[in-house]
Amino acid sequence: MADPPSSHPQPTQIILFLENLWQFAEHDEAVYLDEVRTTYLHELGHYFGFDEDDLEERGLE
């Protein structure tokens, strides 16, 4: 993990703004599901310490 454990009472979270992704996908379900997956994996990659270049190499830009 990139950051040491926190004393904050709430666990680490990845928050996806699904309505924004739905609008970005122009209400196409297949595009939407792909964007949700890609966005989640991208943010999870940041959690594990990957930078933008690392994520781009993995197709998660």
Q: List the pLDDT tens digit at each of the 61 positions of the chain.
A: 445 666 777 788 999 999 999 999 999 999 999 999 999 999 999 999 999 999 999 999 8
Q: How far apart are CA 59 and CA 39, in angstroms?
A: 11
Dihedral of CA atoms 57, 47, 38, 55 in degrees, nearest 10, equals: -10
- What is the per-residue pLDDT for 61? 87
- What is the per-residue pLDDT for 1? 46
Q: Tell me 28's DSSP state.
A: -
pTM of structure:
0.79
- Cβ 5 vs Cβ 51: under 8 Å: no
Q: How far apart are CA 18 and CA 55, in angstroms?
A: 21
Q: Tell me 60's DSSP state.
A: -
Domain range annotation of the chain: 18-57
